[in-house]
Amino acid sequence: MTKKKLKKYIFIELLFTLIFIGIFLCLLVFNQNNEKGQKFKNPASLKGGTIATWSGSLSNQIASKSIEEAHFAFYTNPVDMFQDLRTRKVDACILPSYRIKALKNDYPDLSILDQSLGMSQTSFIFSDKSNELRKQFNEFLEAKKADGTMEMLEEKWFSNPSNYANIPYDKAQLSGENGTIDVAIAADAIPYEYIRDGQIIGYEPEFLDLFCQEYGYNYKMQNMQFDAMLMGISTSKYDIGLSNVEYTEERAQKVNYGSFMREEPIVAIVNNGNPYSKGLIEDLKLSFSKTFIVGSRWKGLIHGLLITLLISGSSIIFGSIQGYFFFLWTKNYPGIFKRIIIFFSNIFLGLPIVVFIMITYYILFGKSRLSGVFISIIAFTFMFSIYVHDCLHASIKTVPPEQREAALALGYTEGQTLVHILIPQALDSFLPSYKNEIISLLKSTSIVGYIAVNDLTRQGDLIRATTYDAFFPLITVALVYLLLTWIIIYFIKLLLSYVNPKRRKPSQILKGIDTNSDPL
């Protein structure tokens, strides 16, 4: 492909993107108008309605007891709940009250029904190995409740919920003389734990600081999704889990709760139709600044992008090398090794990648404390090497078998035949399928959030969870993936034309040869 053609190609891709963004904005404007819905006065009036709850949570259990004939929709983050409440896909959200208090300004249209449905009790959770820590924690909590520290913390973090961006917080200096604790946290619940300026702060982190100071610990904190946190504690990958974990009997069978730190009423949040929009442009401006500017959130996105690049880049490089060796191996010594590769190849065909990654992280490496990034690279490298192996075999088959015989008859060994004769001719069909595998690997890495890795997708989710605004995080993440895909496509096209032997000039073909000298 010539430079000119490539430029044209890129131009067209960009044009299409702009058109898509245009259509998208139109839909957004169209979505602004909402007819007024029903008004709800108390939980009893929700009878027969559609209720959004957090799957597996206490709110879920309480709601199913207290609202008659309700249909439940299950969510894993409040942003989506509120969004659907706004557009009236659901009639109410059942959540602990703090979830909405801090966001009153952002959601003036949503209101809390006065009557609470029940109480949730929260605490830190501990892995089976951390019984000692749990005892110390309970002791410490008892003492702090007695000396008024807990009251002070309550006042600091919960009295003025909309002030969450300005609450002072300094991370304590920790000596770590008695060791380091592995902490798992799902930092997406203002004001319990959330990210500000790239730092995890909140009511629970501050208490953790105080605790560690007292007992001479240091800690390593890993931010992840709530479910990953629960799993990490129940498999003892981490020692302590922080995420204002509500007490439920079901969870108590898998993880160990400390004594309760706080109680929080569980309430129904409804959409009573107060206007919230300040006009599209204003909304977008606000949304943009919330997503990128406030608390330097763009840094998180950049960091996520680097993680995504690190995981996919390393897996592509190592996987390609490993896949090439697998290929040489199965080509020269078919038999048991080939069977093994075919076995794995079928596994990757049939297994959702997210399941494979979780099995690798929680089961295969369940007991090890290797970082999620490292384990992702191992898993994706292995997976990619199998793909590369399969692609190489498929493309070698496109070379006529006579080519191999001719090379052998000339005296090339099997290995030389493969490297000098077969592979060069197979590249034409190999590179396009290789490109597809690279792109699908890049996209597959978006699931590493499940194993506590904060890649690009996960960083977008985090922003979404803190700002309660989906538009810019999702669009930004989508555009970055698309951009990366284009770069890969462009690069492979370039490579294809580079490896095309016919591109060479006569002077390159006859390099180092004096064609005028008398032959022999």
Binding site for other proteins (CB under 8 A): 402-403, 405-413, 416, 420-421, 424-425, 501-502, 506, 509-515, 517, 519-520
Residue with tokens 């500000």: 196
DSSP state of 450: G
Nearer to other proteins, 336 or 520 (CB): 520
Which of 466, 501, 492 shows the shortest CA–CA distance to 165?
466
Q: How far is the CB of 410 from other proteins (least distance, A)?
A: 4
For residue 20 the two structure tokens come to 């898509």
CB 92 within 8 A of CB 85: yes
Nearer to other proteins, 26 or 510 (CB): 510
Q: How far is the CB of 418 from other proteins (least distance, A)?
A: 13
Q: How far is the CB of 447 from other proteins (least distance, A)?
A: 39
Phi, psi values for residue 452, rounded to 5°: 65, 25
Nearer to other proteins, 27 or 409 (CB): 409
Nearer to other proteins, 434 or 471 (CB): 434
Question: Which segments of 333-371 does DSSP mark as H helices, in order?
Answer: 336-350, 353-358
Q: How far is the CB of 337 from other proteins (least distance, A)?
A: 23
Distance of alpha carbon 149 from its chain centroid, rounded? 36
Q: How far is the CB of 392 from other proteins (least distance, A)?
A: 16
Q: Which residues neighbour 446 within 8 Å (Cβ) at sequence distance 6 or greater? A: 308, 455, 456, 457, 481
Q: How far is the CB of 328 from other proteins (least distance, A)?
A: 18
Nearer to other proteins, 146 or 520 (CB): 520
Region for residue 411 given its phi and psi (left: phi exceeds 0; alpha: psi -120 to 50; beta: otherwise)? left
Q: How far is the CB of 512 from other proteins (least distance, A)?
A: 5
Which of 27, 39, 44, 29 shows the shortest CA–CA distance to 109?
39
Phi, psi values for residue 235, rounded to 5°: -95, 10
Evaluate the CA torsion angle 376, 297, 152, 100 in order and state its sign: negative
